[in-house]
């Protein structure tokens, strides 16, 4: 067996890309800091029951599991950082007011996610805890759009949905977990024939509302107007539509980007409790980022707290970013010369990259573009264009 081979859909990040990843990571976390977000770094391993608290079955299937030889309990290798951040907010920080937290760390998937070619991501995200109003959702979306802009991705499409719609439609129905998951899959695929057959045992008005969801997608104003006509009157549905209308107006006024609504897009329905959003960019068929409100996660940890936020894979963002990865550098000879050492130190202190090479050698580094060299002019060393 070749010792240098990696598991399927696991890959190394090589120099030029790794530098680009780190540069973007720093810039994005600095952006979050400017909004008052505090950086947290949860462990990559946790007891499985804690890691999966308040999450859906999808995350359970995606989590690597192993036995802790010290305690005998089952551990999980995290596939999502959000539940960990919710645990930190609920039990370690335990603050009464609004808390803003951000993170950047590796996650692993037991199975390659649909639409992806990797089982390891560098998940980056931001969460707001303790604010139940739409302004927190708006801040999360604003921060996401600025994150994509830092990476040079300005052509963004935002798709909105709301978990409260389905909650209102099914308010009087007693469905078990398996039935909800089946319904979720049918709505996601917009499979109207199978959905109609599945809902045959439900009241007519409920079935009609579920069928209507599959067609309530497209331009915001049109979808909201049609939803008010097609969906039953219920406080949860009315509130959801009002939330979406207010959020669409705020995002449109501040960004001018293309926004749509798809009320059947309920990915993570078991996880989310309110507004849900997904950001799309050119050259990527699946969303580059997802987010929304998930108040139930904190409740699952024994402390009910409103929560909203988003996450994305930084490696995917880097691959799509048009920003230049290579850094300009200066080549200098490797000599015992006090004046040369002093000149190199001064250049590095000023932020320049100086690479020393032996006589006759060339710099072979994908991360750097050596466009200048340090040459001796009389008794001093000067930087000259190559």
- Determine whether the annotation assigns residue 367 to a binding site: no
Q: What is the DSSP letter of 248?
A: H
Residues in CB range of 374: below 8 A, 6 or more apart: 330, 331, 332, 333, 340, 343, 344, 347, 354, 381, 382, 383, 384
CA dihedral 339, 340, 344, 345 (to 10 degrees): -40
Q: Could you give the CA distance from residue 288 to residue 320 in angstroms, rounded to a whole number?
A: 10
- Determine whether the annotation assigns residue 267 to a binding site: yes
Contact 51, 65 (CB under 8 A): no
Contact 243, 277 (CB under 8 A): no
- Determine whether the annotation assigns residue 127 to a binding site: yes
Sign of CA dihedral 312, 316, 322, 328: positive
- Determine whether the annotation assigns residue 81 to a binding site: yes
Cα–Cα nearest to 52, from 90, 91, 79 = 79
Alpha helix segments (H runs only) across the chain: 15-34, 48-51, 57-62, 82-87, 134-150, 163-169, 177-189, 192-198, 204-213, 220-230, 235-255, 296-300, 314-320, 338-349
- Determine whether the annotation assigns residue 88 to a binding site: no
Cα–Cα nearest to 352, from 380, 338, 332, 336 = 332
Q: Which residues are annotated as a binding site for L-histidine?
A: 80-82, 123, 127, 267
Q: Which residues are annotated as a binding site?
A: 80-82, 123, 127, 267
């Amino acid at each position: 067996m070749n010792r240098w081979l990696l598991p399927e859909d696991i890959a190394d990040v090589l120099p030029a890309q790794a530098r680009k990843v780190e540069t973007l990571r720093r810039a994005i976390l600095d952006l979050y800091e400017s909004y008052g977000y505090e950086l947290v770094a949860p462990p990559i391993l946790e007891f499985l029951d804690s890691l999966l608290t308040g999450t859906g079955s999808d995350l359970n299937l995606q989590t690597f599991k192993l036995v802790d030889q010290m305690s005998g309990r089952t551990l999980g290798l995290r596939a999502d950082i959000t539940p960990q951040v919710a645990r930190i907010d609920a039990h370690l920080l335990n603050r009464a007011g609004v808390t803003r937290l951000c993170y950047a760390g590796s996650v692993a998937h037991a199975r390659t996610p649909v639409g992806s070619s990797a089982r390891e991501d560098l998940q980056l995200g931001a969460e707001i805890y303790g604010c139940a109003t739409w302004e927190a959702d708006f801040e999360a979306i604003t921060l996401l759009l600025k994150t994509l802009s830092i990476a040079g991705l300005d052509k963004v499409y935002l798709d909105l949905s709301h978990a409260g719609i389905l909650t209102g439609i099914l308010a009087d129905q007693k469905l078990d977990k398996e039935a909800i998951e089946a319904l979720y899959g049918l709505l996601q695929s917009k499979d109207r024939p199978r959905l109609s057959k599945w809902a045959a045992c439900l009241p007519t008005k409920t079935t009609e509302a579920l069928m209507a969801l599959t067609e309530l997608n497209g331009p915001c104003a049109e979808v909201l107007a049609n939803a008010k006509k097609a969906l039953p009157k219920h406080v949860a549905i009315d509130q959801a539509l009002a939330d979406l209308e207010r959020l669409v107006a705020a995002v449109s006024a501040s960004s001018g980007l293309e926004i749509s609504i798809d009320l059947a897009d309920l990915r993570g329905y078991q996880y989310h409790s309110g507004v849900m959003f997904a950001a799309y960019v050119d050259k990527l068929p699946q969303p580059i980022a997802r987010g929304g409100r998930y108040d139930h996660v904190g409740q699952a940890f024994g402390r009910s707290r409103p929560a909203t936020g988003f996450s994305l894979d930084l490696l995917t963002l880097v691959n799509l970013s048009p920003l230049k990865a290579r850094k300009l550098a200066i080549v200098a000879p490797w000599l015992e010369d006090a004046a040369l050492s002093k000149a190199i130190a001064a250049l590095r202190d000023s932020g320049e990259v100086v690479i020393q090479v032996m006589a006759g050698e060339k710099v072979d580094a994908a991360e750097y573009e050596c466009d200048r060299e340090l040459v001796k002019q009389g008794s001093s060393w000067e930087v000259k264009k190559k």
